[in-house]
Chains A and B, each alone.
Chain A
Amino acid sequence: MKPAPFIRHVPRTLDEALATLAEVAGEDGRILAGGQSLVPIMAFRLAKPAHLVDINEVAGLDKLADDGKFLTIGARVRHAAFHEPVTANPLGRLLTYVARHIAHYPIRMRGTFCGSLAHADPSSEWCLTAATLDAVMVAKSVKGTREIRADGFFDGIMSTHLKEGELLAEVRLPLLPPDGKFGFYEFSRRAGDFAMSAALATYRLDGGKMTDVRVGLGGAEASPRRIPEAEAELNGKAPGDAAFRAAGEAASAAIEPLEDHQTDAEYRRDLVKVVVRRALEHSLI
């Protein structure tokens, strides 16, 4: 239960961090940000990185800015930053509501938004948020800057399309329309535990009908993603039980469910029906 030995690097600037990462990435060098997932994995010796590039002292990575189009979240912005809305845009309330479901209070004081995305746990609330809202991931390395769309970022369980030597320096979340509505629901067996399934939905109302609907699903498949079949059941319909149930059914039928030793595919399909419906019901509160 003690991590294996490693060499710690403490860069002070982004350039220094990227240069160090370029040097050590090939020798199993990893970024250490909040450490709330990486350190437990190291304690179990499931990961034994030879080098850790600790970015907690790098200046400027705590950027959190709303430019009227995007909310930009820097690599060291911690979950607790979202305990109160960070923008007056409805996205601020969405992030505050979702953040409450992430692990526990002390974990949220350390863990980071970008770290969650780079870790890519299928049940991660922030991965679901990024996938649902089509976030833009900004990866930096000594070779330059690369922008990756959310639908091309996740690559299965705890895997992303970040390349060796790349740091997820910031994530840009598109703001919601000023009249945008959202709903979120997560199912887990214990408070703060990993979600067995979670759904996030956003839409606008136009003449009493839902439009620009997004339905994202996490924890049910290897990577979180939008479910177009569920969105199709909602666009142009009035919000309500009939449409919400239809969306749950559509999502349930559309997925390739994860299975584990506790739950089989059938269980997760059933769960998804409920989770999608409850997320949509939450949008009416």
Chain B
Amino acid sequence: MTDKTAITLTINGKDHKISVEPRRTLADAIREDCGQTGTHIGCEHGVCGACTVIVDDAPVRSCLMFAVQAEGKTIRTVEGLADGDKLHPMQQAFMDNHGLQCGFCTPGFLMLAVGVLEREPDISDEALIDVLSSNLCRCTGYQNIIKSVRAAAREMRKA
């Protein structure tokens, strides 16, 4: 049916009961229907990576999934990274290494980097550059993002 259907999205451990059309992207549902506006939307066709979230342990473009496809899955967004007042090592590393300027792309980069490092903790510094080429940033020139993620990778390996 093109009509709205009732679904439940589980974002950062919390259930959101929403009603969406099948064509509603996961990115729009997270922001508009669930009110979690930390996930940003840039290009809406999978190129920029600003909307990257973690779905069932995989970093994915939330603009290229429909919300109805994410029902029953575990969704993680930037709001779920920090533990209370304690930032996630990736967030801390972005602050320490000046890994952001305007911050628009940052939630996407954080979820991409966290998602990949949780899957592949021992990924090489060189392979990380290839991973980070997935997302676009118009401010930093990428060097400080690479520095941040490498620093966070070392922290996450200790944990």
Contacts and interface: CB of A to CB of B under 8 A. Distances in A.
B23 A106 contact: no
Contact of A6 (B23, B45, B49, B59): B23
Nearest to B5: A8
Contacts of B59: 105-106, 109
A202 to B, nearest CB: 24
Contacts of B44: 1-2, 43
A2 B25 CA distance: 8
Given A6-B23, A36-B64, A52-B22, A107 B46 contact: yes
Interface string A32-44: 0001100110111
A151 interface: no
B134 interface: yes
A109 B61 CA distance: 9
A7 B21 CA distance: 9
Interface in B52-97: 52, 58-61, 63-66, 68-69
A192 B134 contact: yes
Interface residues of A, number: 29
B101 interface: no
Residue in B1, B49, B64, B65 whose Cβ sees the most chain A Cβ within 10 Å: B64
A34 to B, nearest CB: 8
B131 interface: yes
Interface string A167-203: 0000000000000000000000011100000000000
A6 B116 CA distance: 33
A105 B134 contact: yes
A280 B116 CA distance: 32
A89 interface: no
Contact of B61 (A7, A106, A190): A106
B46 A36 contact: yes
Contact of A35 (B2, B49, B65): B65
30 contacts: A2-B23, A3-B23, A6-B2, A6-B23, A7-B22, A8-B1, A8-B66, A8-B68, A35-B64, A35-B66, A39-B64, A39-B65, A40-B45, A40-B64, A43-B45, A44-B45, A100-B130, A104-B131, A104-B133, A104-B135, A105-B134, A106-B49, A106-B52, A106-B112, A107-B46, A107-B64, A107-B134, A109-B58, A109-B60, A110-B60
